Amino acid sequence: MADTGVVAVLGAGSWGTTFAKVLADAALATGAERSIRIWGRRDEVVAQINAEHRNAQYLKDIALPDSITASTDVAEVLAGAGIVILAVPAQSLRLQLRKWKPLVEPGAVVVSLMKGLELGTDSRMSQVISEELDIPQERVAVVSGPNLAMEIARQEPTASVVACSDEATAVSFALYCTAPYFRPYTSNDVVGVEIGGIVKNVIALAVGICEGKQMGDNTKASVITRGLAETSRLALALGGDARTMAGLAGLGDLVATCSSPLSRNHTAGRLLGEGLTLDQVTERMTQTAEGIKSGYAVYELAGKLGVDMPITAAVVAVLEGKLSVDELGPRLLARSLKSEGDY
């Protein structure tokens, strides 16, 4: 992995800013010199990062290291960057990459923090990156796992996964982002890691709806467990590894996202369960709940592959207005009787 000492983080939301902090703290821990530049769309966010070393809109009063700067000029951010971190909404990625392609340094490693499936193509983010930037998969890495940004920004101990088809790239980047509170493991199962991060958002919407309807822990545990089963079915159908589903990028991410009030998808589901319309939820949310956008793409992909995903189907029906939140609970467990081990 070519390390120029310059890292570009494209996206100034909670996770992009938090991961910039992880990279800066990792450098501080090893004594490495590193310049981390964040690209953001909003002048006020960029100005606050530069002047106050804060991003109050997304991370409240968390202090950011001095090695982090920000700009609204993407060319300035990408200049000389040997590592490019992408943390933008999944559905806007392809069009943005087409504009950014001439600005990305030759040989740069591109890392996806995104957990979405593209509508229309059913492409994972690593596939979109490779296609639009015309770079081999060996230079595309994915970070996933239980990544609740605020907890990591507060430096609460967290384990995660760096996945890449090239083991050397995965190991190099894992070392690059190892901070005292952030411990990455490596994987070559890019498919499984990405699918785990994508589908858990849809399952979190279902769990959030159950919570909004004041259903109990038995219900939520049942949905989480069966949600893991249908996530595994899809991952395996795409060539993923079953062991990934039992790890940080599968079970770990699913539990965190379905259980925490810090989860955007859990929050969006809870608001739907409390009776808000989808438009009202979208208006209230300050950040994208990827499960709302990616749910239909997941459902469509499962249909093409002949994979049974009843929880995903029910959530999509709610999002499309074909099923009320009152009907969701009974629908979630309304399958014909079968052995639990039958995936």
Catalytically annotated residues: 200
CA distances from 302 to 57, 264, 294, 298 (A): 36, 24, 12, 6
- Nearest 5°: the CA angle 91, 286, 43 is 85
Q: Distance (Å, rounded) from C-alpha 158 to C-alpha 177?
A: 12
Between CA 251 and CA 151 the distance in angstroms is: 18
Asked whether residue 253 is marked as a ligand-binding residue, the answer is: yes
- 3-state SS assignment for residue 146: coil
338 marked among binding-site residues:
no
Question: Does the annotation flag 308 for ligand binding?
Answer: no
- Residue with the two structure tokens 């923090």: 113
Ligand-binding site membership of 58 (annotated): yes
290 marked as binding residue: yes
20 is in an annotated binding site: no
Helix, strand, coil % over all residues of the chain, rounded to 5:
55, 10, 35
Residue 314 annotated as part of some ligand binding site: no
Contact assessment for residue 143 and residue 171, using Cβ atoms and an 8 Å cutoff? no
The answer to whether the annotation marks 263 as part of a ligand binding site is yes
**CA angle, 121 then 122 then 128, to 5°:** 70
CA separation for the pair 79, 5 (Å, rounded): 12
189 is in an annotated binding site: no
**Pairing status of strand 182-187 against strand 109-112:** unpaired
Q: Confirm or deny that 170 is annotated as ligand binding.
A: no
304 marked as part of a ligand binding site? no
Length of the chain: 343
144 annotated as ligand-binding? no
112 in a labelled binding site? no
Q: Which residues are annotated as a binding site for NADPH?
A: 14-15, 41-42, 58, 115, 149, 264, 290
Q: Which residues are annotated as a binding site for sn-glycerol 3-phosphate?
A: 115, 145, 200, 253, 263-265
Q: Which residues are annotated as a binding site?
A: 14-15, 41-42, 58, 115, 145, 149, 200, 253, 263-265, 290
